[in-house]
Structure formats: C-alpha cells, structure tokens
Amino acid sequence: MKKEIKKLELLKLFKEFSFLKIDEEYKLEVKNTYGPEFAMAIKDVFNKNPDLDLLYNSKTDIASSDSKENNLTVQNCIGIENFSGDSANGLDIIILNQPVIEIPNKEDKKGSEIKKLYRKIATKTHPDKVTSKLLNDLYLKAKNAYQINDLFSIYLICSELNIDFEFPKDELDNFKFHIRDLKNRNLFMEQTYLWAWVNEEKDITKNNIILHYITKLPNFKT
C-alpha cells in the first residue's frame, strides 16, 4: 500500500513538473516576443517628453540647486501637455527583460545515471534515427538538460518516452524543492510590468503601466 502511494506521489510530481516546464516555456516566449514592443512603448514616452529624457540623463549629484534638472520630477515631466522632441539618450541601458534563471551546474562531471538515460533518449529521438518533429524536439530538450546536468528534466523525458528508470529515494526532497523553485520563477514573471502590460486590453491602462514603470527607473525623483 505504501509503495503504491509513493508511486502515485511521484506520478503527481512529474505531472506538476511537466506543467510548470510548459508554463515556463510559454512565459519566456511571451517575454521574448513582446519585450521589444514594451521597450518601444517606453522609448516612445521618452521621445514625446524631452524633459523626462533630460531628467533620466541628469546626474544624481547636480551641483546647482536651482538648475532645471534639480527641479524636475517624473510626475511633472509626464504631465507636460506639449509632447515634442525625439531624444531618448541613455534608454538603451534600461533593463527591460527579467533574467532567465537556469538550473546551475553542480559539477562539470556528468553522473553515470544522467549519461545512461540520455543515451536511451537519443536512441529513440535523435534526428539521425527518427524523422518525427515531436521526438526530435524531445531530443533537443534532453540534450539541453544533459548539458546543464538537469537530471529531473531527463527523468521527465524518460517518463514521456516510457523509458524505465529508478528514481532515487534521496532525491525526492530535492525534486520537490526544484518544483517549488520553478513555480516561484513562473509566478515572478506574472508579477512583472511586462506581463501586466501584455495582458491588459485597455490602451489607457497599458499606458499607465508604462508610466508607472518609468517612475521606478534609477535616478528619477518621485
């Protein structure tokens, strides 16, 4: 009975892990697709607000207390009605994309288990052996997992291909931690300005998201 429970628990974890990997792939595709549009929307605000561009490029230690830069704030720059100018100097240093968090290499040396399973996967999926795009895609995923020593992803691909493997009992807690980490990374993406902007339909709200993002940039006085 206990053995059956453990088997079902592991199956549940693999199903959850599979969903989270797909969710991560989807969110990264959204980021890569809409990131440039998000950047252009921000650049457009700078282009239409020369004082905002001036404020962004001003030094934090301005010597003159009565200088124009020292009297500017993001709010009054954005509030200017007469939008003009085409300067957006310095915008290229703004970090718009969230970092891609990869599974770190614990060691350069590949374990015998991951190498053995990778070879079994390659036998069923390598482009030189099969012409199925689905299987070839699994081969590429397995190759990437092997290169970064991601044994859990190798296990997942094995389960999809009905390749037998022994899941080490002492790895269960690590697997659960890995799932929690992946879940948190996906949740982090949903909390970014980019994600909110992409999923908002109303233009006025999308614009407000851009303006709020700008107020969070370094060197701005709010």
Q: Provide the percentage of residues in the chain whose pLDDT is more than 90.
A: 39
pLDDT at 66 over 80: no
Per-residue pLDDT band at 94 (split at 50, 70, 90): very low
Q: Provide the percentage of residues in the chain whose pLDDT is more than 70.
A: 74
Instruction: Map tokens 């970064």 to a residue.
Output: 148
The answer to which of 83-92, 105-114, 132-141 has the lowest mean pLDDT is 83-92
Higher-pLDDT residue of 59, 165: 165
Contact 152, 165 (CB under 8 A): no
Residues 6+ apart with CB under 8 A from 209: 193, 196, 197, 200
Domain ranges for the chain: 1-98+192-222
Contact 182, 28 (CB under 8 A): no
H/E element, 21? helix 2-48
| Number of C-beta neighbours around residue 164 at 10 A | 8
Which pLDDT value is given to residue 120?
94
> Angle 190-102-216 (CA atoms, 0-180°, nearest 5)?
40
Contact 154, 121 (CB under 8 A): yes
* Residues 134-140, mean pLDDT to the nearest whole number: 94
Per-residue pLDDT band at 34 (split at 50, 70, 90): very high
Token duo for residue 192: 């970014």
Burial of 128 (0-12, 13-18, 19+ CB in 10 A): exposed
Contact 17, 179 (CB under 8 A): yes
Most confident of 94-108, 156-170, 191-205: 191-205
7-26: buried (b, 16+ CB within 10 Å) or exposed (e) per residue?
A: eeeeeebbeebeebbebbee
Per-residue pLDDT band at 56 (split at 50, 70, 90): confident
Q: Dump pLDDT digits (tens) for 188-219.
A: 999 899 999 999 999 888 988 888 888 777 76
pLDDT at 21 over 60: yes
Contact 222, 78 (CB under 8 A): no
* Residues 172-186, mean pLDDT to the nearest whole number: 91
